[in-house]
Amino acid sequence: MTSTNSADWVLVTGTATGLGRAAAFTLAENGYRVLAAVRKQADMDSLRVEAETRGIAGFVEPIILDVTDAGQIAAAVDIIDAKITAGGRLHAVVHNAGAQFAGPIETMPLTEWRSQFDVLFFGPVALTQRLLPHLRSSRGRVINVTSIGGISPGPMIAAYQAAKAAFEAVSDSMRIEFAPFGVHVSAVAPGAISTPMLNRSPAQLNALAAAMPKSLQPVYADALRAFAKTVASARGLSTSPAKASLTILRAVASPRPRARYLIGTDAKVLAFLKRNLPDRWMDAITFRMMGLPRRV
């Protein structure tokens, strides 16, 4: 899967940690030149140090890019324009930037709902709009990192899953709209990945339960604590970022990439059940798997 064109650039967002960071290095180690997007200077420095340690410093170029900032999107496009002027081409963009807010639908502020959609949906759409002329010219590809939660949603992280479901839907629209240009679009839906975000989640969920208003403690606290236990258990079954990044590489490198990739046994099982079971059965499985209270 090594790139045969040393001028092939891939933009990967959300490369500070986790899957995005692993994908940046996996792509670079396979001959792609990677623009590794992060939001902080410290993360740029960390990427440079690790790239040097791995012997691929010439293949990883960190850049500052917050996908919710129109000015930073414009600056990133200027960088890509310069690469193309110098003889390169944009082969792919990997939309991986992420953030996750947890909590019951009733109590989550609308500002957090909007933040989830800004990072996970509107930002990638805005970036794709700006990059599509380059991808059309290179007959490149768009890789949208979604989530099994966008295919089979559950409770307590509805805003995150709703944004990922929207991203799944727009991936289908992109795939059809962009096909006449020779631009491939793939949705990559991971299950549990052993990232800092996953590792922090149980403590955050327990803290949310403790901070619930007294009037809502009987309503949501037990459900949040049960979900925290489920997430903690998922860590033991999670896929490593390095292994998951190989799926990103396949989507970037394959001559005929799939429309959708699932990462992890949990994602594959949940997608199968969602396709084949009635919704009420899926609800019952969710209650049982997560140990959620059926009555309050």
177-199 pLDDT per residue, tens: 999 999 999 999 999 998 777 77
Of 23, 274, 38, 65, the closest CA to residue 168 belongs to 274
User: What CA–CA distances, in Å, run from 94 to 112, 183, 197, 285, 287?
Assistant: 24, 13, 19, 33, 34
Q: Taking the CB of residue 269, how many other CB atoms lie within 10 A of it?
A: 14
Active-site residue, selected from the candidate residues 32, 160, 220, 261 = 160
Q: What is the pLDDT of residue 236?
A: 76
Q: What is the pLDDT of residue 227?
A: 83
Q: What is the pLDDT of residue 211?
A: 87
Q: Is 36 strand, coil or helix?
A: strand
- pTM for the full predicted model: 0.93
d(CA 274, CA 290): 16
> Is 32 assigned a catalytic role?
no
Q: What is the pLDDT of residue 200?
A: 76
Question: What string of pLDDT tens digits covers the 296 residues of the chain?
Answer: 666 566 899 999 999 999 999 999 999 999 999 999 999 999 999 999 999 999 999 999 999 999 999 999 999 999 999 999 999 999 999 999 998 888 999 999 999 999 999 999 999 999 999 999 999 999 999 999 999 999 999 888 999 999 999 999 999 999 999 999 999 999 999 999 987 777 778 888 888 888 888 888 888 888 888 888 888 877 778 899 999 999 999 999 999 999 999 999 999 999 999 999 999 999 998 888 777 777 76
Among left, alpha and beta (phi > 0; psi -120 to 50; other), residue 55 is: left
d(CA 153, CA 162): 8
Q: Is 55 strand, coil or helix?
A: coil
d(CA 179, CA 266): 30
d(CA 207, CA 204): 5
Q: Residue 240 carries which DSSP code?
A: P
Domain 8-195+240-278 maps to which CATH number in 3.20.20.450, 3.40.50.720, 3.20.20.80, 2.170.120.12?
Answer: 3.40.50.720
Of 125, 38, 121, the closest CA to residue 76 belongs to 38
Domain residue spans in the chain?
8-195+240-278
Q: Which residue has the tokens 């957090």?
A: 112
Pairing outcome for strands 8-12 and 33-38: parallel
Alpha-carbon Rg for the chain in angstroms: 20
